[in-house]
Amino acid sequence: MEAIRELIKESRKIVLKVGSNVLSDDKGVVNSENLKNLVDQTMEFIKMGKQVVIVSSGAGICGVGAINKWTRRDDISYKQALCAIGQVELMLGYKEAFMAHGVHVAQILLTREDFQDRYRTLNMRNALFTLVDEGVVPIVNENDSVCVEEIKIGDNDTLSALTANLWNADLLIVLSDIDGVYDKDPKKNGDANFIEEVWDIDGLLQEIDVFGKSDFGTGGILTKIEAARRVNEYGASMILLNGKKQNILKDAISGEAKGTVFFPR
Ligand code: ADP
């Protein structure tokens, strides 16, 4: 789509949100080839002179991959423990993949409280700006091991929008397992119609059905649309793309990718 190509061309600061589904294979295990492919494509942005911050899910499934004896434990403390273990695995994956290009990565773990405190917000902003200015790729995730339900942001769609606004990004790219927004869930409705461009989110929400959640994701399509609303309010655009497709970012750069673009009014 030409609109996607144009938007990427004119955006300098890009936040890339990577869903667990994008990194995992059919069994729900993080696939190192998927991760490497994603990092190789991110390097295309960097080679074009763009700055990139990644917001990545996947700590939970990486934890299960590392220690599978806890898979049936439902207690919240075990879930947090799994995320703590998996976060290391996830970052190791990113570090190795970026190091192949001579690029350093940095880990930033955030909670909702961090965004509510002016002092912390300022510190986070400074850290982000410094890292990116020095050519390092920050990789942001929610700090799951200190977050209980009451203080959780809860999904990385929202976290990626908050991060985009904090860093004054021009563009948020959300990679999910779907080509974009349809008027109803295309996994359940063969006749769902694809929506290429959105200028009015309230209008969109009146026209479409947003039910259904995929196996490993936590947000659903509604949190993606609400993330778009957040960045649009700050004058940035959002593109929703299918990260399950090989070379989706390269295709986006060349204008061949299908996706939904949310423009600020
Ligand atoms: P992620 O794990 O990447 O955050 P989610 O699984 O949380 O993604 O959300 C994307 C899913 O939302 C899609 O795979 C799709 O099945 C579902 N969905 C429900 N309604 C819609 C809709 N109107 N348009 C597109 N996807 C929809």
CATH number for position 109: 3.40.1160.10
**Cβ–ligand 1 contact at 242 (below 6 Å):** no
Please tell me the residue having the least CA distance from ligand 1 atom 18. Answer: 185
Longest dimension (CA), the chain: 50
Q: How far apart (Å, rounded) are the C-alpha atoms in residues 180 and 238?
A: 11
* Residue where the block lists tokens 């929703």: 240
**Enclosing H/E stretch for 110:** strand 105-110
**Cβ–ligand 1 contact at 196 (below 6 Å):** no
Q: How far apart (Å, rounded) are the C-alpha atoms in residues 153 and 159?
A: 7
What total number of domains does the chain contain?
1
Q: How far apart (Å, rounded) are the C-alpha atoms in residues 105 and 97?
A: 10
- Each residue's pLDDT tens digit, 111-170: 888 999 999 999 999 999 999 999 999 999 998 877 766 667 778 999 999 999 999 999
Whether residue 245 contacts residue 259, with contact meaning beta carbons closer than 8 Å, is answered with no
- Each residue's pLDDT tens digit, 153-210: 778 999 999 999 999 999 999 999 999 999 998 988 899 999 999 999 999 999 998 8
Give the distance, in angstroms, between the CA of residue 211 and the centroid of all CA atoms in the same chain: 20
Q: What residue numbers bound the domain in which 86 lies?
A: 2-262
**Cβ–ligand 1 contact at 222 (below 6 Å):** no
**Cβ–ligand 1 contact at 212 (below 6 Å):** yes
Q: How far apart (Å, rounded) are the C-alpha atoms in residues 10 and 76?
A: 43
Q: How far is the CA of 258 from the centre of ligand 1 (A)?
A: 15
Q: What is the pTM of this model?
A: 0.94
Segment 18-42 shows an average pLDDT of 89
Q: Which atom of ligand 1 is nearest to the CA of 21?
A: 2
Q: Which atom of ligand 1 is nearest to the CA of 187?
A: 16
